[in-house]
Amino acid sequence: MLGTIDRGHVGRLIDALARADGSGAVGGSQRAGSRRARLRSRVGRVGAFLQRIAIVQIVPDAALQDEEFDADSLTRLAQAMSPEDVQLYYQIALGGRRDLAMAPEPRMGFEMTLLRMLAFRPDAAAVHGNPARTTRPPMCLPPVRPAAAAPAAGASVAGPPDAIAPVPSRRIHPASG
């Protein structure tokens, strides 16, 4: 029927996202058309599908009661995707729908929404072949210690072996002229 959305297309897009298949997601976006209203609706359908997947992850029987999306697809994707990815993709879909109005071209905005979903996944670095980004521990700074009163002139500074000795300050006097 004219004007209806191919729900199978939305399912294929989400399936490509679940597999971290950038070519499948972007290739699927090219079949979505180029009209802003249609792409805005498509991003909305992606968000709606993701919302249903999130429900099925918590209440598996909900897939059988869904009247809009295929129960088998909902169940399969709910098992294949992490809850974190589903939540992140949903948030990105909401923002992408809003951002389509600002995109230079509607298709460009739609594609960037899909690419954001792939790029900002919690495990995206490992998926894109950069394990160093996921295995490197976060930079740790030494704990901050409260400043102690300065010792009297000539007194020795004693403390635990791992204590950081205070650095004497120098006063810089402006040149007299």
Query: What domains can be seen in the chain, in order of their start residue?
Result: 7-123 (1.20.272.10)
Structure confidence by residue, pLDDT tens digits, 83-131: 999 999 999 999 999 988 898 988 889 999 999 999 987 665 555 455 4
Q: 69 with 6: CB under 8 angstroms?
A: no
CB atoms near residue 14 (< 10 Å): 28
Distance CA 153, CA 160 (A): 21
Distance CA 91, CA 83 (A): 12
Q: Could you give the maximum distance between any two Cα atoms of the chain, in Å?
A: 91
The encoded tokens of residue 20 equal 């971290």
| This model's pTM is above 0.85 | no
